[in-house]
Amino acid sequence: MIFIVIKSLIIGFIGGAAIAAGAARMFHTPNSQSMGAFRTLGELNACQGDTMAHFSFGLGFLFNAAAAVVAAGALTQDVFHRVVPNFAAAALLSKNKKVEETLYNPLKMGIAGGLIGALVVTFLNTVAFLIPAALSQIAKEILSPAAALMINPVMPIVFWLAALDAGKITGVWATVLGGMAHMIMGNAVPGIVLGILIGQTIDESGYNKSVKVMITIVVVLFVVIAYFRGFFAKLGL
């Protein structure tokens, strides 16, 4: 048990610090080399520096990760890509609302991400170690559906409300793309996040060339995903 805790603290701190710092550096591209998933940047942007939005988003995926580790005995990629960065952002923003000094600061995000990563990974691995095999099966049957409900429909509703609060243009784009994403992929979050990014860009710069290129890429992406998922076949096209 003690070895699991020690290894979890070390791995969690290193991984959490690297991912959180890398995510913060993504806000400084192309001037700085960054590290992280595109969805991490999009989801951090979608929370718009709101402490509760970051916390609730990370908490939703923490439940999902806990269910996975109890039922399957393995950590999901959401632990480092979603839980740690959002918890780190929430912790920093709770003391300072200026994203330029918190979320966009690689050093502060790295330190916060390292500490949170150590705690989260240790917690999840300890839970997995302490849960008996019989309870693991029960958890698989109960926690997995509960975690799925947190991801869909709870999280899409949270992001949609945040989009509506961000303005009319952002709300419309998030609603349209979120609805399309739900019909095509079964989850509205990716579409809502893209809608927020497009809407906020339009609010800041108008319908310039970069926005039109972004919209074109998103439309093509949705069409390709819809084709390979057989969406058009279901419509009889």
pLDDT of residue 21: 92
Q: What is the mean pLDDT of residues 20-46?
A: 80
pLDDT of residue 68: 76
pLDDT band at 162 (very low <50, low <70, confident <90, very high): confident
Write out pLDDT tens, residues 209-235: 888 998 999 999 999 999 988 888 888
Given a cut of 70, whether residue 198 has pLDDT beyond it is yes
pLDDT of residue 10: 94
CB neighbour class for 74 (10 Å; exposed up to 12, middle 13-18, buried from 19) = exposed
Give the 3-state secondary structure of residue 208.
coil
Write out pLDDT tens, residues 107-153: 999 999 999 999 999 999 888 888 766 666 766 677 667 767 777 78
Q: How many CB atoms lie within 10 A of CB 24?
A: 31
CA atoms within 13 A on the CB side of 196: 25
Given a cut of 90, whether residue 171 has pLDDT beyond it is yes
pLDDT band at 172 (very low <50, low <70, confident <90, very high): very high
pLDDT of residue 84: 93
pLDDT band at 178 (very low <50, low <70, confident <90, very high): very high
State both tokens at 185.
């992929």
pLDDT of residue 31: 76
- Is the Cα dihedral 156, 157, 158, 163 positive or negative? positive
End-to-end CA distance of the chain: 57
Q: Are 201 and 209 in contact (CB under 8 A)?
A: no
Phi-psi region of 155 (alpha: psi -120 to 50; beta: other; left: phi over 0): alpha
